[in-house]
Chains A and B, each alone.
Chain A
């Protein structure tokens, strides 16, 4: 194992892979370490992503696309469905990926670009010198080693322990951690072209339950509820089991997974001396949808671009790395996270009656655009009686 690199990337998910690929293409020596023995598994994801977003990073390939989505339905507590069709919405909806293959492809591309990839290797602590990160202490299949680097890009996902051990506060408050469980189910009656989102305090308190098709009669059936709603007997798994017993009693579960999705605001600062944080570790997840794949790729790539410039000029201080932090915050993604955070904070206050009213108000309309923003704008327009409550929300959209 080499002990010196320009850039060390921690974590082999979409953020880490894009960081490693981008950094290697820019001519840096790069090492990507992954604590698990295999890239891409086990999956901790509902696997949905917008088509346009995906295409900014990689050409869609049937090898890792499980389903092409043409519709979305949002189902309110009383069963009212808001239907969003691709033709009606005027733009494309999304894909459901096969993350096992997708993540491998991304890391493969990073390796092809010249990055070293080492699995079953866990960063236990940052190497700190004069307050700056200078690499990581690792355990590689049980063997301790030091890997030094000019810049470390921490893309270690929900756990986000590397940045934490370098002094950043990455702890997710219980109320902003979505506690999730998911079954990959087969032999179930579903609309293979539609992603379905079920809302309601009986179904998924302060979150939602999803059915994301993975092909004919097969889907990711999963749920996220906030940590504060999670208790013995009413955990994510309990809600999911109840939904499955009612809706897919004869379905077969071929994979059962769990996961945590942070829906707090992003880290106060995503850089430090010699350190950058990207993807879920930076808490750049869409607070409404919980989607994080696209944002992970965006921040991973941007981090590597800024790091490359800094390495060239020989200055990898926090100040020098700041254009990364400022860059993603000023981006469309950054603005979207800030807006959707406020929207989320409003939506978690709604009881089932209000959710039903809102759903009924827009159940039969056509949206010009398929987005959270378009949905919210339409809700505000159609619910003058709720204007007082929606006013604060409206102000966040302008």
Chain B
């Protein structure tokens, strides 16, 4: 099983709040596009901070 971060682009307000709280510098906000650029540890801090609920740590078989 692996954990990963799922970005719901329809909910995302591309505000960058997640970028500033990410302990791994894994997220990158490129204009109106949030992208997972580097290694994510699936800590879920970004998902908590998101004002819109656009991020989710998901567990996959």
Contacts and interface: CB of A to CB of B under 8 A. Distances in A.
Interface of A: 35-37, 42, 44, 120, 122, 157-161, 164-165, 170-174, 177, 179-181, 227-228, 230-232, 235-237, 256-260, 262
B1 interface: no
Interface of B: 13-23, 25, 28-31, 45, 48-53
A256 B21 contact: no
Contacts of B28: 161
Contacts of B21: 171-174, 177, 227, 260
B16 A157 contact: yes
A160 B28 CA distance: 11
Contacts of B16: 44, 157-159, 259-260
Contacts, number: 92
Contact of A237 (B22, B48, B53): B53
A236 B13 CA distance: 12
Nearest to A222: B51
A230 B53 CA distance: 9
Contacts of A122: 30
Given A161-B25, A171-B21, A260-B17, 15 more contacts: A44-B16, A120-B31, A159-B29, A161-B19, A171-B20, A171-B22, A172-B20, A179-B17, A179-B51, A180-B15, A180-B17, A180-B51, A227-B21, A259-B16, A260-B49
A132 to B, nearest CB: 21
A79 to B, nearest CB: 26
